[in-house]
């Protein structure tokens, strides 16, 4: 079963909004969350277990690898402020602010 990308992005955004407290960066700033590729991958696996390869070494599905831009756009549409930042280890993360 192939899930349309727009549906994937929408469900990921609602997932992150509903589980906001799990992604808070700093308890003193509860309106900022940080999302990395790994978080997106885990959320994707929770939402679409059939699409996720559950081997011991999980490979991030191609769908998730370029979903960053879409997520940013979708969050901005819903009235959040989004920053794409480099974090330690050369990784990229999305910082999402509740305005």
> Running along the chain, 99 residues long, what does each successive block of 10 average in pLDDT?
78 93 91 90 84 62 73 92 88 90
Q: What is the maximal distance between C-alpha atoms in the chain?
A: 42
C-beta separation of 96 from 32 below 8 A: yes
User: What confidence score (pLDDT) does residue 1 get?
Assistant: 59
Q: What is the pTM of this model?
A: 0.83
């Amino acid at each position: 079963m192939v899930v349309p990308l727009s549906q994937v992005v929408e469900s990921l955004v609602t997932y992150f909004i509903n589980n906001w407290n799990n992604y808070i960066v700093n308890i003193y700033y509860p309106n900022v969350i940080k999302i990395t590729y790994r978080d997106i991958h885990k959320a994707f696996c929770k939402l679409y277990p059939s699409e996720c390869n559950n081997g011991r070494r999980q490979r991030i599905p191609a769908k998730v690898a370029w979903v960053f831009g879409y997520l940013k756009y979708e969050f901005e549409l819903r009235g959040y402020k989004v920053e794409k930042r480099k974090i330690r280890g050369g990784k990229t993360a999305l910082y999402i602010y509740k305005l």
